[in-house]
Amino acid sequence: MESIEELAARAAAGDGNAAADFVRQFWPDAYRIAFATLHNREAAQDTAQEACARAWSGFSRLRDTSRARVWFYRIVANESKRTAQRSARDRFSALDAATEKNFITVDVAHESGERVDLRAAIASLDESLRLTILLRYYFDLTNAEAARVLGILPVTVRWRLMVAHRRLREILLARDVSPSLLTSSRRFLSP
Amino acid sequence: MNELNSDSMRSATRDYAEQIAVPVFDERPIRARAREKLAPQRGWRRTTVAIATAAVIIAAALNGPAVVAQVEHMVQAVLTIGGTQVPVTVQAVSLQQAQRDMPFTVVAPPVIPGYQQSIREIVAQSSPQASRLMVQYTGSPSVAPVTIMESSATAAHTELRIWSSKMPNAQPPQPMRPPELHGAGPEQQATLQIRANGGRQFRVRLTPQSWTAGSTRIDLLSPPGALSAAQMLAIRRGMSR
């Protein structure tokens, strides 16, 4: 099976089918990153499409195909940030965002248990923290890779992870969650 | 201080991400947007070339071959051998014709997806050994085309200046004076000068990649951003056999 790097190399060489396959393969990731930033389904879909188009038209500028995934995530993260800034300016998304947060909470409310509490707590985090933990814990990027995607320093990634852990802990304690989720581990600081 | 268990965190993040309902992938709007993004670059390139009598000049001082230019309607060249300029002819040919005409073994140039290829012979009647084959690829977003020059690896040092011109509304350009060499870089570098009559002038310094395949010397000139490292490597590999 063709690796991501090989696919990206073909796309960078001008193969339109490879570019289409690449964005198709990474479409779910693009949408999840956009949604984690915006918490609005329509805006996330539009943003993910725009990011995919930017990547598609920009493959010729991709120099290191071994970093194609990080390169692509960075395009999506930047596009999401632009949309968020535009939305803030236009003041139209505040209600939508609130609705989406409720939507997520309602979605998970019929389930029970600690995982649901934690998942809902993640949804209620600030977008920069939410995106950072998504990149680290869902996409399994290293701190350095996550930093490259977000355009920040690796030490800032570590700081955000620490803050995210602390906020989640506070949220869960406020909800009187089981102490089994809490531990004295600080492993999240590992690279 | 107690902190969250990392495994719980990872698991919960996965739950959070996977409960996001991802819409079905639709290629059409993405393809359409990608096309729109590429269009302005092409439009800018056409405008740049056609705004006025645009002259694109390469004045290069390479050890052996030298290179390049934007070629549409007219290509002119000057070959200097031992300080003396000798007349050359430039003509478009097929690969088969070039393989018959050139005094060295012509290495078949690769097809680059998305680019149009044109082949020209630059022949000095008085000194056939100094003849060159110029393969140009147009279609990249950059101003100047990607160019591959082939020449004899054993030919004596010569200096080649090539320039070309294009008039608006497809009018044939007037013959121009050859470019001066004051903009040429040191050996193994080429300087691309782009001038528009009455307009701005800018200069791009190019570092050619040169190698030999048998008795043929090959120079690849790629304007910045036109080719990726992987593409250049593929060309080099394809033309080294």
Model pLDDT, residue A75: 95
A1-17 residues labelled b (16+ CB within 10 A) or e (exposed): eeeeeebbbbbbbbbee
Mean pLDDT of B107-132: 84
Q: What is the mean pLDDT of chain B?
A: 68
Q: Which of these ranges, A83-97, A111-125, B152-166, has the smallest mean pLDDT?
A: A83-97
Model pLDDT, residue B58: 41
- Given a cut of 50, whether residue B57 has pLDDT beyond it is no
Q: By the CB < 8 Å criterion, does B28 face chain A?
A: no
What is the bridge-based pairing of β-strands B74-81 and B201-206? unpaired
Q: Do A137 and B140 touch (CB under 8 A)?
A: no
Structure-token match 């740049």, residue found: B48
Query: Is the Cα dihedral A152, A154, A156, A157 positive or negative?
Result: positive
More confident residue, B6 or A82: A82
Q: How confident is the model at residue A80 (pLDDT cuts 50, 70, 90)?
A: very high
Q: Which of these ranges, A4-8, A16-20, B69-73, B111-115, has the smallest mean pLDDT?
A: B69-73
Partner residue facing A137 (CB), from B9, B32, B114? B9
Partner residue facing A185 (CB), from B5, B31, B230? B5
Mean pLDDT of A143-169: 91
Cα distance from A145 to chain B (closest Cα, Å)?
17
**pLDDT, tens digit, for every residue of A11-25?**
988 888 999 999 999
User: What is the enclosing helix (H) or strand (E) of B48?
Assistant: helix B27-50
- Given a cut of 80, whether residue B70 has pLDDT beyond it is no
- Given a cut of 90, whether residue A138 has pLDDT beyond it is yes
- Given a cut of 60, whether residue B41 has pLDDT beyond it is no
- Given a cut of 70, whether residue A180 has pLDDT beyond it is no
Q: What is the CA radius of gyration of chain A?
A: 18
User: Using H for helix, E for strand and C for coil, what is the string for B151-173?
Assistant: EECCCCCCEEEEEEEECHHHCCC
Which residues on adjacent β-strands are paired with residue A182?
B4
**pLDDT, tens digit, for every residue of B199-241?**
445 555 566 777 888 888 888 877 766 777 788 888 888 888 6
Whole-angstrom Cα distance, residue B147 to residue B136? 4
Chain A: residue whose CA lies nearest to B12:
A119
Q: How confident is the model at residue B132 (pLDDT cuts 50, 70, 90)?
A: confident
- Given a cut of 50, whether residue A26 has pLDDT beyond it is yes
Q: By the CB < 8 Å criterion, does B43 face chain A?
A: no
Of A1-10, A81-90, A114-123, highest mean pLDDT: A1-10
Q: Do B4 and A13 touch (CB under 8 A)?
A: no
Structure tokens at B237: 């590999």
Whole-angstrom Cα distance, residue B70 to residue B51? 14
Q: By the 8 A CB rule, do B130 and B81 touch?
A: yes
Q: How confident is the model at residue B186 (pLDDT cuts 50, 70, 90)?
A: very low
Which residues on adjacent β-strands are paired with residue B4?
A182
Whole-angstrom Cα distance, residue A78 to residue A72? 10
Question: What's the complex ipTM?
Answer: 0.80
| Chain B residues within 8 A of A138 when measuring between CB atoms | 13-14, 16-17
Model pLDDT, residue A150: 94
Q: Do A134 and B13 touch (CB under 8 A)?
A: yes
Q: In what order do the strands lie in the sheet with B216-221?
A: B89-92, B116-123, B132-138, B146-152, B216-221, B209-213
Q: What is the mean pLDDT of chain A?
A: 78
- Residue B66, classed as helix, strand or coil, is coil
Q: Which of residues 87-146 of B touch A (CB under 8 A)?
A: 112-115, 140-141
Partner residue facing A49 (CB), from B12, B33, B115? B33
- Residue A36, classed as helix, strand or coil, is helix
Q: How confident is the model at residue B144 (pLDDT cuts 50, 70, 90)?
A: low
Model pLDDT, residue B80: 72
Which residues on adjacent β-strands are paired with residue B58?
B162, B192
Partner residue facing A169 (CB), from B4, B13, B228? B4
User: What is the enclosing helix (H) or strand (E) of B204?
Assistant: strand B201-206
User: What is the enclosing helix (H) or strand (E) of B12?
Assistant: helix B6-18
From the list B220, B232, B59, the residue with the least C-alpha distance to B136 is: B220
Partner residue facing A53 (CB), from B30, B229, B231? B30
| Chain B residues within 8 A of A118 when measuring between CB atoms | 4, 8-9, 12, 15
Structure tokens at A94: 């505040």
More confident residue, A98 or A173: A173
Cα distance from A150 to chain B (closest Cα, Å)?
18
Start-to-end CA distance of chain B, whole Å, equals 65
Q: By the 8 A CB rule, do B152 and B217 touch?
A: yes
Q: Do B115 and A114 touch (CB under 8 A)?
A: no
Model pLDDT, residue B163: 62
The Cα diameter of chain B in Å comes to 88
CA distances from B224 to B23, B68, B72, B101, B148 (A): 38, 14, 21, 32, 15
Question: pTM of the entire structure?
Answer: 0.49
**pLDDT, tens digit, for every residue of A45-79?**
999 999 999 999 998 888 888 899 999 999 999 99
Neighbour-count burial of B125, counting CB atoms closer than 10 A to its CB (0-12 exposed, 13-18 middle, 19+ buried) = exposed
Q: Do A53 and B33 touch (CB under 8 A)?
A: yes
Q: How confident is the model at residue B104 (pLDDT cuts 50, 70, 90)?
A: confident
Structure tokens at B134: 């110029």
Model pLDDT, residue A148: 94
Mean pLDDT of B74-82: 68
Q: Which of these ranges, B28-37, B93-102, B172-181, has the smallest mean pLDDT?
A: B172-181
Whole-angstrom Cα distance, residue B47 to residue A116? 58
- Given a cut of 80, whether residue A189 has pLDDT beyond it is no
| Chain A residues within 8 A of B38 when measuring between CB atoms | 57
Model pLDDT, residue B191: 54
Chain A: residue whose CA lies nearest to B1:
A184
Whole-angstrom Cα distance, residue A11 to residue B107? 26
Whole-angstrom Cα distance, residue A74 to residue B53? 41
- Given a cut of 60, whether residue A107 has pLDDT beyond it is no
Mutate to test the interface with A, among B24, B25, B146, B222 (most CBs of A within 10 A): B25
- Given a cut of 90, whether residue A175 has pLDDT beyond it is no
Which residues on adjacent β-strands are paired with residue B76?
B163
Mutate to test the interface with B, among A45, A181, A189 (most CBs of B within 10 A): A181
Q: By the CB < 8 Å criterion, does B85 face chain A?
A: no
More confident residue, B168 or A184: B168
Q: By the CB < 8 Å criterion, does B40 face chain A?
A: no
Whole-angstrom Cα distance, residue A122 to residue B10? 11
Half-sphere exposure (CA, 13 Å, Cβ side) for A162? Answer: 11
Residue type, A149: V
Partner residue facing A24 (CB), from B2, B15, B27? B27
Partner residue facing A61 (CB), from B4, B36, B225? B225
CA distances from A117 to A94, A187, B13, B32 (A): 24, 21, 11, 41
From the list B141, B153, B137, B171, the residue with the least C-alpha distance to B65 is: B153
Model pLDDT, residue B169: 41
Model pLDDT, residue A100: 41
